[in-house]
Amino acid sequence: MKRSVTIRVICLIVAAVLLSGAVAIAAVTGSPYETLKKAVLDALTYRNVTAESRLTLELDGVLKSEEKSYHVSGDGSYLNYSFDENGDQDGYFYYSANGLSVNPMRMTNMGSEQWYTGYFNMRDSHFGAYSGGFGMFSPEDRDSAELRFMELLVDALVGDLKNNVTMSSSGGIRTVRATLTESQVPELIKAGVDLLVEQSGRYYGEERDFSGYDMLDIPLKSLTIDYIRVAAEIDADGNLLNIEGSGTASLTNILKQNYEVEIKAEVRFSDIGTSRPSCPIPGADDLLTAEFLRARFGSEHINFYFTLNPDGSVNEDSVTTTFPGEFTRQTFRIDLPSSIVLSANAPYPALPPTTAALSYVD
């Protein structure tokens, strides 16, 4: 499903509260706080791990948005699958290993045959979401100034926060559960919520006609967090196995419509330290090497395209640097009020608030 500006604002707000709340609400008992905080920060630097995540958003009890992801990361390698609005794999993936990156193409005007694209770049040594890491940090970054700053920022958010926290242990697995109510949300988070709500209103302006708009596409006037619940499981080695969060918020948009949003987020980690991504296209790693590309095209630093054989392997004869389709050209016309005149030979004037008609030209 296409996510609106409001949905992105809400998800950003709840994600921030979940991350800070997950460690802050456990601070009351001391030891659980340090255990959970370390596990969360370590998870951002996992090198060999499989991670599955799911995020849902409900509006007044009706599902409005759902996103799933599946990641496998290894030493300098990465595989990600995407899902459709029904939660099923849609056939699209992104794979990167040893300088090679390949993925299916999603372009129109390419005929009935599925094409794939790739490139080769051994110079990209950044360890991040597209080069082998689950998060944007490497294990070597664990003691960096950036992560230390994040840790101290979370510590500062704790303040005098008091909450009910339960912690249990069974079979070597520690489980931390907690609930954060509206009155316990740190003031810094509340200020951030107000700022994001204010910015969402500025994007469109309150005088725009929102007739026929989906409720979540209408800028917000206010957002109040009702509660946040967090549950996390940590193994005997301190590894974060899964973390679940849910929360509700009461919202009012600029049309004075009131509604309630519930967000649920879950991330599960498995095969920690042992995951090894494998390319969904058999033999691609062995064929599409720097040597092969240099011999065929004179350089490996290129974008290339290919199709598959009936058995799913790369069709070697199809590998080409010529784009197999054609880009769809779309032309739009903007009709400005006659009172506004723009000149190519003069600086652009400071335009007053106005309206313009945007139309598609076939």
129 compared with 358, residue with greater pLDDT? 358
Tell me 362's DSSP state. Answer: -
Is 83 within 8 Å of 71 (Cβ atoms)?
Answer: no
DSSP-based three-state secondary structure for 328: coil
| Phi, psi at 295, each rounded to 5° | -65, -35
Quote the pLDDT of residue 192: 85
Report which of 244, 204, 212 is spatially closest to residue 228, judged by C-alpha positions: 244
DSSP-based three-state secondary structure for 14: helix
pLDDT tens digit sequence for 157-187: 765 554 556 778 899 999 988 888 888 877 8
Locate all alpha helices (DSSP H) within the chain, ordered by sequence. 5-24, 31-43, 145-158, 187-204, 284-287, 290-297
pLDDT tens digit sequence for 268-319: 999 998 999 999 999 999 999 999 999 999 998 889 999 999 999 999 999 9
Mean pLDDT of 40-52: 85
pLDDT grade, residue 266 (50/70/90)?
very high
pTM: predicted TM-score of the whole model, two decimal places: 0.70
Quote the pLDDT of residue 351: 43
Quote the pLDDT of residue 348: 41
Quote the pLDDT of residue 79: 92
Percent of the chain clearing pLDDT 70 (strictly above) = 71
DSSP-based three-state secondary structure for 93: strand
